[in-house]
Structure formats: C-alpha cells, structure tokens
Amino acid sequence: MVKNHVITIDVGGTKILTALLNDKRKIVDRVKLATDATKGADFIVQCIVDAINQLLNNTKVKIESVKALSLGVPGTVNPESGIIFAAPNLNIKNYNIKKELQKHFDVPVLLENDVNMAGLGIKLFEYDNKVNNMLVVFVGTGIGGALIFNGRMYRGSSFFAGEIGHMRVSGKGLLSNGEEGAAFENIASRTAMVNRIIEKSKKHKTFLSKYIKKGEKIKSKHLAKAIKKDDKLTKEVISDACEVIGTVLGSITTLLNLDTIVVGGGAVEANEEFMLPKIQKAFDKAVLKEVGKIVKIKGTKLGDDAPLYGGLGLAEEFLK
C-alpha cells in the first residue's frame, strides 16, 4: 500500500489536536480530544492513541497508508531517540514516547518541540521552503522559539536550541520582581502581561476588572477586547511587553544576522495590529542598522495549524 499520509499530533496540557495530511499537503480531517497532564505520561499516550484511531475511523484511511506519526511536544525532546527530556506542562520527564506509541502503531514516530514544529510548518507553507535564516517566536503562556539556519531546523548540540523564553533580560516595570535579569517569558509572555494587569488593577481602572473580579482566566481575546475599548492600562502593559520583545529580537538579529522573523502565538495573533508595529519599532532601535535593514517582522496566518503542517515538514526531513 502506498504510504501517502502523515498524522500530526500537537500535544498540550489540556488537549491533543490531531490531523491527517495527504500527499497534496492538505489537512484531510482533524480531531481534538481533552486530556489531563496530571495523570502522567501513560495516560497521555492513551489519549494520543484514541485520537489517532478516531481520526482513522473518521477518514476511513488505513494505518498502512500512513508513513509517519509526527508528534509536537511543549518541552525539550530528542527527535532521533524519541525521548522527552522534560515537558513540565505534561508532567513528563525522561520518557521514550516513540517506543510507547510504536507498541500501538507500526509506523515511524517522529518527535519535535512544539514551537520547532510550528516553525517547520511556517517555513514549509508560508515561505514554500525558500526562507534562509529565520527565527520564529511564539508569545503565549510562555515564550518559545525556533531557529532555521541555511534553510534547516537548528536544534543545537543537545537539542535545546530555541529556548528563547529562558533568556535573562531586563524588563520595563513588568514582572521582573526587582531582578536585574528575569527570564524573558516572565517579563513579556501573555501570562506576564496578564499578571501585571491584575496587579496594577488594584490601583488603576481597567476594562478587564469585571473579568478579574469574577476570577475568570484572562485570555488573549480579552486583551484584544480591552485594546478595542482603548483601555489605558492594558495598552500600557502590552506596549511595555512589545518593547522588551522587540529589543530582544533586535539583539538576537545582531548576533545571528537573520533575514526573517515571524512572531505568533495567541497573544500576538489576537492583537497583531497593535503589537507588531510596536515590536518593530523597538527592534529597529535595538538592532545593528546594517543587519536589521533586511529584516521585517511578520505575523503568521497559520495560527494553531502551524504545528500540524509542521508535522509534514518533519516527515520530509527525516524520511527522505
């Protein structure tokens, strides 16, 4: 049987999104299942198995026509061995998920960090594999990064490359807790922005107060509503975060001489028109002029589908 399909699995702490892609690089169908990271690795594996079986049943595609299972995980992983070194959001450490999944499916299992997977999807589908040196940054619960050098994913000497969220940086009044060098994601992620808004809302009026008082989780869509309502506090906090993001990206570009930067993640996708110009402005101030003039910071239109498409890119890389 011709192996002309790839199944991509994007694993999160609360949900698993699975998609079947065909040889025309199209998503045939997708399945989303709830999961519970507190129940451990074996439970997550069973959820993945259930999602794959449901996908195959929906599409009537036989597993024999699937050439790879591409798995995106929010953590540090070894794509070659299939071992998840550490995925705190999944409560997994030093676990060979490739070995466990192949007990259920006689198909090559390919493993990648979720932001790297999204980077592969963006490279393949938004740039038709013609990008040279690219940085992809996703701003959400944390901040994750993916590096493409000379058209290929750069994973580093021990597969930790791209962990931009853990860089130590200085922040403009955001949640640095008085530290000179707090982690980037503790200063400029959506989580950091929301925490700062909640903290400042004790003394300042904000459109978001009604959600804060109810104990609702403030999501990217709430930030977008606040910006649309011209909420001063929200705009101030997000602007500060944009300045930090742009400055960090400028410094990285001076070091690496990138040609493309893509910024995504829920916070940016919901507030792109407000955030990107501010990130670009801070970038232009921070970057070495001759290096920065070839770079334009862009958003991504793939959204949550980026890692799903990236699963196809992963298969193309490892199954040549």
Q: Which pLDDT tens digit goes with each residue over 17-27?
A: 999 999 899 99
Looking at residue 179, what is its pLDDT?
A: 53
Encode pLDDT of 226-251 as tens digits: 999 999 999 999 999 999 999 999 99
The three-state secondary structure class of 149 is strand
pLDDT at residue 174 is higher than 90: no
C-alpha dihedral (100, 10, 190, 92), degrees to nearest 10: 0
Please state which CATH number belongs to domain 5-124+304-318. Answer: 3.30.420.40
Please give the model's pTM, rounded to 2 decimal places: 0.91
Cβ neighbours of residue 242 under 8 Å, at least 6 residues apart? 188, 275, 278, 279, 282
> Is 163 in contact with 145 (CB distance < 8 Å)?
yes
Looking at residue 68, what is its pLDDT?
A: 95
176 — pLDDT class (breaks 50, 70, 90): very low
300 — pLDDT class (breaks 50, 70, 90): very high
Looking at residue 181, what is its pLDDT?
A: 62
Encode pLDDT of 178-205 as tens digits: 555 689 999 999 999 999 999 999 999 9
Rounded to the nearest 10 degrees, the angle between the axes of helix 306-318 and helix 114-125 is 90
Q: Which two tokens stand for residue 129?
A: 């594999």
Looking at residue 295, what is its pLDDT?
A: 95
Instruction: Give the whole-number percent of the chain exceeding pLDDT 90.
Output: 82
Looking at residue 232, what is its pLDDT?
A: 97
Taking alpha carbons only, the member of 80, 81, 61 closest to residue 21 is 61
- Among the CATH numbers 3.30.420.40, 3.40.190.10, 3.90.1300.10, 3.40.1170.20, which is that of 131-300? 3.30.420.40
pLDDT at residue 214 is higher than 50: yes
pLDDT at residue 107 is higher than 90: yes
Residue ranges covered by each domain of the chain? 5-124+304-318, 131-300
129 against 282, higher pLDDT: 282
pLDDT at residue 267 is higher than 70: yes
For all residues of the chain together, what is the average pLDDT? 92
Mean pLDDT within 133-139: 96
Q: How far apart are CA 80 and CA 313, in angstroms?
A: 15
In this structure, the chain runs to a length of 320
Q: How far apart are CA 9 and CA 73, in angstroms?
A: 9
